[in-house]
Structure 1
Amino acid sequence: MDRPGTAPGGITGDHDLPDAMYWFEVFSCALLCWCDGSLQKGDRTETVLDPPQSGAGKAGRAGKGVRLWRRVVTVAAALAVTAAGVAGLAAPPAAALSPGTDAAGTHAPAGQRQAHKAGEKRQPDLLLVAKSHQGDFIAGGQGVYTITVTNPQGISFGRDFTVTDPLPEGLTAASFEGTDTSFWRFCDVGPPVTCYLPDYELQAYESLPPITLIVNVASNASGQVTNNVSVSTRDEYGSSRESASGSDPTTILPASSSLLITKSHPQGDFNAGSLGSPFTITVSNSSPGPTSGTVTVTDDLSPEFHPYTMAGNGWTCVKDSLTCTRSDPLAPGASYPPITLTVSVDPAASAPATNRATVANGGSGAQASDLVTINAAAQPAPWLWIDKTHGGDFTPGHTGVYTFLVSNQGNAATTGTVTVADTALPDGLTVLNMGGGGWNCPDLATLTCTFTDSVAAGDSFPPLVLLVTVDPDATGPFVNTVTVSGGGSTPDQDIDPVILARPSLQIDKTHQGEFVRGGRGQYTITVTNNGQAPTRGQVTVTDSLPQGLRAAGLEGEGWHCDTATLACTRTDALPPGGHYPPITLKVKVNRKAPCTVVNTVTVTGGRSAKAQATDPTPVNRDRPGHGHKDPRHPATEHTTTPTTCH
């Protein structure tokens, strides 16, 4: 009988039959062999039990007994092996054992463990799925979700992947714009939303290309919704299980009842690798009344575009955050002046891209989208970006540092000379030096530097540093613009506003004890610098005594004080976090002073804003321990205690 599988002796074959069936066949074969031998003529089992006989009969019976006992031993061995096979069925399969252990749970030799690892194809215990969205959604508009699946395990594996997104109420799938559909082969807007990737080997710590899901937001949707997404997997044996899930709470703002926003590209299709392609954003008021409060426009550029300028008459725009704001009221039926957003286009872009803009006023808003066709470039090209930063706020009388970072975001290396120019250094700043590795900056007067080496696509140039001094009398803020051009790329520019660090003086005033009519009192005045820069120039403290008080003395260490004008001055700089020595103001309290006097003190100068402090001071009727004679009994003197003023 042929054994399909692995026999106890190590003989191997095709695994066509289960182990239990094989051991049953072994046992049956042994039993049949024994029965066949026992039923042969003259070979009955009873004779074996008889006492041994002498002579030839004894020898014959002894030989038959030996043969019979061999059959019994064979059956016993078959039973034992069968039991071992059944026990083997109950043992866990090798794939389920802990790494480095054998079937008995003991640690296997290192060589066996290594062979086991090399021959197995383990499945990960967990995948990670992340979901995120861009900004708050607006009722009646559209939103964008990004879904990413990651393998956090240190091993690779192959299987099918299915991402499922049952969108919450108020959201419906519109498209998979931006998703690599050559990778995610079967994506369906559903419901539910599904994307399927068959037969893919996911490497250790690798992430699958993100799924970009565009959703429509219902016009009556509001509040917060939670979008749940899951990824399920199917292995090579057809077994499936839920591997991971993720959620993304999303805020939906109600649609504004007054503001409308439109977005367009009036100059037609964009060309890849071009500069100057403009978007126009217009906000209008559809309500019967004027707007109130701050109106904020935010643009959400697609990655195919890079902002160059953003401006509009009456708007305050920040290019880095792509926001514009204004607070003047907009009449019913009127529109604000348009915002023009000029962009450069990625040389590698070719597919249509959508640009979205949102307007918000208070807790409501509106949204508009603009789909742009991009004509592919004839050949690869570099795409230069420049970013300008500064190190902290600038301080009058100190140095400041600007850093320019230029990178090639295109799909080809730069060719020829690349030029960086700081177009107009703001008033109040003076150049000390400008340079960086590989940059040639021959003339500080023009603030122009050049770079001639080729920079590959995706690489960055060495940083370029501009060192300046801040004029002691500078007022700021400073707005500095820098441009980059050449190298076979479209130009780019960046604007870097710098806030001037200033001192911020604070003044405090306290009084000691209780004031009593006819007595004396004392105030303590303290000046502190809570700003980010030291004071510069004269600092003046002025006290305004209220009715019922008269100055008896005014002094303080390092202060020049005048009791007649109740003013103290000094010119030494007060560093941030420091305080001047206190000023002591002594006063006399009039016998007819009101029950409460309010003393006010002011500090000015030092390049700080004016600061003020008040000290409400209660006044009692009599002086403590004051003695007087009773006019009716001149020889008797009475001592009174202060009483509350009424």
Structure 2
Amino acid sequence: RGVVPPSLSYNPTPGTPINLSLGGFGGTGGASIQVTPVGGSGSGSFATTGLNCTITGNGAAAFSVSPSSFSFMPGSSSATIGLSCNAGQSPLLATLLCNESPGGSTGPQQSWPLQCPAALPIPPNLNYDPSPGSTITFSPGSGLIGTSTTASIRITPSGGFGTGFAATAQFNNCRISNESVPGTISGFQGTSFTFVGATTAVQTLNLSATLRASAVTGTLTCDQVLPGGGQRGSVIITPRSWPLQVAAGTQPAANLRLLKTASAQQVQVNEEFSYNVQASNVGSSPEFGLVVIDQVPSALTILSAAGPDWTCRVDANTVDCRLPELIGGRSADITIQVRAPNTPRSIANTARMTSLSTSTALVSSVSVDVVAPPPTPVDLAIDKSDSADPVRTGSSFSYLLAVSNLGAGDATGVRVEDVLPAGVTLIAATGPGWTCSGSSTISCTLTGVLAAGASSSVSIEVTAPSQATTLNNRATVSANEPDSNSANNADTESTSITTEPPPPPPLRADLGISGNAVPASVLTGQNVSFEIAVGNIGPDPATAVLFDGALSAALEAIGASGNGWTCTVNARQVECTRTSIAVNATESLTVTARVLPGATGIADMALQVTSSVTDPVLANNASRVAVSYQAGGADLSIVKTDSIDPVAAGAEFSYTLTVSNAGPEAASGVVVSDTLPASLSFVSASGAGFTCANTAGTVRCTLATPLPAGASAAATIAVRAPTAGSSISNEGVVSASTNDPNLANNRSTQTTQINDRTAEQISDLLEEAAVDPASEAALPVVSAECADPSSALADVCDEILDAADDGRTGEVTDALRAIAPDEVLAQQLVLREIATTQFFNVDARLNELRRGGGGFSLSGLTVNSGGQSIPLSLAGDALQAALGYGDDEGGLISPWGFFVNGNITDGKQDLRNASGRVGVDYSSRGITAGVDYRLSNRSVVGAALGYAKFTSDVNTGSELDAKSLLLTGYGSYYVNDRFYVDTRLTYGNVKLDQSRSIRFQIGGMQVDELARGDADSTQLTLATSMGYHLNYGAWTVTPNLGLRYIRNDVDAFTETGAGAYNVSYRDQSFKTTQATLGLQIGRAVSLDTGVLMPQFDFSLISENSDDPRAQASLANGSSSQLFRLDQQGSDSSYGSAGLGFVYLMANGRQAYISYRHTFGNDDFDRGSLNLGGRFEF
């Protein structure tokens, strides 16, 4: 049975390009090849197919293969060739070679092209010290209460790669939670650290804390923000937390004292009184952070709480007062005004005080007894009058008994007694609310209560005696309550009884007045209505009625009116009149008043009414109405507006925050605050009467003076919009130290639309930075890219626009210059110098020929023999004629010659930004070898092949290298013995290798990229020159003229390696014409071994070139805008001077060396060294 090794099948098949895919962020790619054995038979080494794999190529070092060797027998399982690579900034290429060895013999070699794509950007890992979750203990761990202690977190980045958003990690949005003593820990506010790519710069978050009386704990949480890997702008936010521990501080000497007292130890129900809380510092050092808390018992009503230098707030029944500092030896008082409850009780009240230096609260208490008021005494007065006097005998008349309560208390059980005189007969005794009994002694009792200030009357109708007499009738009044004035408890009326008819009685009208306040309780600054009723209980109508009202100092009158009344108002005095009030009628009027802001004392109105008619009862003609009030505060409101909407991105606009005070009181300590969104840049803030400051993006404007009720004030905040379009909502807040009864209108939000800037707007913004041809060429491209939010340059666009908006024009100019690919303009210089290298080498050969090499043109050479000199040219002609020159190969000198000439050139072109001239520092090494044939003693033709290698540094950090292979055909003809004409035609290919550095810093972004590109160029050169030899003994002087034409055509090419900054160049063409006028001076020196001919040449060169121009566009750009690169003023004139030596030796051998240097051009400098040799064959 035969032994056959298996054949191998591959997936993918050999020759298939393999692109090693990257597994997400990072720099490692992978791929594999499946190898399957097919067929075969037998066993042993001859039935085994071996496979050994290696990787070759320029990028092989970045690739690996594992495993690299296999053995397959018939029936073996498939195997996998594993491939991996470490990606770099640009794609890497290599080739996988796998050699098969079937049965131990040499088999076929399989190959696969490999490509490792450019590494994706990756954000750095953030390492924390201490690590998240570890407890951070502040140091030092001890100290006086109120002093500071610190702690820190070090953040070290590592492992990042690339630039831009996808390579950026952030650490921000730090906050404290569960802080056992709020306000202890600080330093974290506004923290924002950014780490980009391969940075290793360490950032430190420094925390500080204030030592308290007890240990303080809390938790610090900050967000770690990484790119999300999705669409641009998506992020992954990971909270990082650390428990915090701040040790307790050391208690200093106890210097604080707290004393609480009451204005009275005993008060009546509903009576107002006050507590005084006094904080004292008996030490010599100041105490800080004093806080007094008084939990006022709920039975008491808090009317106010204040104290000089204290900031007090009342929340329900809790008084919270704070004092930043109390210096040594001083005290500070707080007054708390309260109202007692309506039922008797004993009330204990405790105040507690803490400070930064106290570990235990200081406590002080006081008790107040609330008692019922003593019985209020009444003052009953009775006024007795008769309806007629005199009265005719036997006629009826009546007694009117008017009872008034002039006291402060209500009277109950009011009784009136009247003992009728003899002969007087009772008809009836009546009165509203009265119950009367008896016939001779009349007793009447009032049902209910006779309130303080009220009055009531009883009418007793009687019949006069039948005889004429004088009646003296006495009536008394009494009540259940003690009467403070018994002198007015009885009244006697004397009535004459006559037989004559009595005169008519005088008119009488008993007016009464009462009132109430609506509402019964108001705030300062609010209006109150006093509703007043004036009544007439007769017995006659009241005429010419006059009402007079006097307001207390806490009130001001606004107006008064009533049906039938005519009123006048003057400050706190109100007067109203009317024609009359009928019997038993009541007329109403209303007085409107306002409780003055900041009012103190009682707010009431004294009422009084009179008329032109006699009033039998004056006690009820006056009354007083009071209204209770509390401080009304200041109702502040704010309205926020924007100056422009929509706003162009990056433009300045302003917010106006208008604060209005609706009263009723003036507002003190008015503060307008505005926390600006992070995307807005603060410019300025001001306002009439305001002092404004910006701290970490929060603008606070403080009004220097109180804002009166009804007034308004405005602050203006100027900002700059972000560079990208968005919708921004911004809120303004107003606050004051004066109580605000309505907080709902203390905030105002304004939403402003930010529109993306157009390319034209961006161009106008950046135009100031385009100061030279390079930056001008970049301007339209950058403007178009920055107008597109999806542009690959979006990140750097944000920084460029921010810099332009901030006036950092120099940074913008540097960025535009770096982005502009003006380095390509150096190609014209490089190609021109390559042509010059070949020209110098061929020209050196022609110069050798003119100096006598190969027997061609022996002009100027002589043979010295004894005292005679014979021109070598004549000797040569004779010898050649005699020997039959040219007829066979045995001539005097061979017509064929071979030469090798070398050229070493170093030069530079100075950088001139203003004209667009790039700076080039270059060196060139060239070698030219050729063969020429002498057609006759006057003409020669030849061909030469030249190779040159050119290296140059362009601007800063960029390079342009070139390699050329040029073929030149040349010829020279002597018209006569002295006058010659040379011609050269060159054509060839130049390979250009460009490395362009894009390096600049703009704002916080550092850009450092390297773009690489290769281009092919063809070159055509045509040159001609002529000269005339003048001989002066051993000296030869040769004036000469020359003309050269150079044309270069460069193919389009595209850069790689610089990401968004890569550029695609269009085809380019350059033409240069050079005219020369020169003088060459040489001398022949005979030596034992040959002839040495030193020579000096001097040339003036006029160069006319196309201004270097190039057009290019961003390879990955979002717009079609072109870089239109242009170097101005390329024409120049300069000189060249050189010194050389030609050495002629036997058998047609020759050596040549010369050095030339340019002069007269401030922007260009070149030195060239030529070496050459010639041999016959």
TM range (shorter): 0.3 to 0.5
Structure exhibiting the larger radius of gyration computed from Cα positions: 2
Structure with higher strand content:
2
Superposition TM-score, scaled by structure 1 size: 0.32
Superposition TM-score, scaled by structure 2 size: 0.19
Of structures 1 and 2, the one with the larger relative CO (CA 8 A, separation 6+) is: 1
